[in-house]
Amino acid sequence: MGESYFSTEVEWDGRADYDPIFTKLTDLRGFAAAEGVRLHPLFTTNMTLSYATFTPGSVAPRHQHPEEQLSIVLQGRLVFEVGDRREEVGPGGVVAIPSNVPHQVTAGDEVCSVIDVFAPPREGFRILLAQAEAASGDGQAGA
CATH 1.10.10.10 fits 37-131, yes or no: no
User: Whole-model pTM above 0.85?
Assistant: yes
According to the model, what pLDDT value does residue 138 have?
63
Alpha helices in the chain (DSSP H): 123-136
Helix or strand or coil: residue 132?
helix
Cβ neighbours of residue 2 closer than 8 Å, sequence gap 6 or more: none
Confidence class of residue 4 from pLDDT cuts 50, 70 and 90? confident
Could you give the CA distance from residue 107 to residue 86 in angstroms, rounded to a whole number?
A: 13
Contact yes or no for 89/72 (Cβ under 8 A): no
- Strand order from edge to edge, sheet including 78-82: 59-63, 103-107, 78-82, 85-89
